[in-house]
Amino acid sequence: MTTDRIPVIPRGVRRHHDAVRGREVLLGPERALMLDDTAVAILAAVDGTRSLGDIAGHLSAAYNAPRDVIEPDVVAFLDGLADQMLIAYA
C-alpha cells in the first residue's frame, strides 16, 4: 500500500477532550477510543489534504525524529482506524 493516500476523519467521528478522565478520545459509532500522545499528534495532522507520507514528514520535522521510524507507525495507526471505519481515505 502506498503512502500517497490521504486520510480524512469521516462525518460521525470526532475528537473530544474527556475532562473527567483527563484524556483525548476519538468518538465514533459505538466506539470511544482513548488516545495517547502519539495518536493525538497523528490525528491532529490529519487535515484532509496531507497524505500519509506528508503526515510522517510533518511529524518527523515537528518532533525531530527519523521519518523512516515514524512512517510505519503513522500508516499502521491510521490503517487500523480505517479497518474500524473511523478513518476514510479520500
Choose between 4 and 68: whose C-beta lies nearer to other proteins.
4
Enumerate binding residues for other proteins (CB under 8 A). 10-14, 16, 18, 20-21, 25, 27-30, 32, 82-85, 89
Residue among 51 and 60 whose Cβ is closer to other proteins:
51
Q: Which is nearer to other proteins, 6 or 60 (CB)?
A: 6
Q: What is the dihedral of CA 73, 79, 81, 86, to 10 degrees?
A: 140
Residue tagged 470526532 (cell numbers) = 14
To other proteins, the closest distance from the beta carbon of 74 in angstroms equals 17
Q: Residue 10 CB, nearest distance to other proteins (Å)?
A: 7
Terminal CA-CA length for the chain? 14
Q: What is the DSSP letter of 3?
A: S
Q: How far is the CB of 73 from other proteins (least distance, A)?
A: 19
How far is residue 81's CA from residue 87's CA, in Å, rounded to a whole number? 5
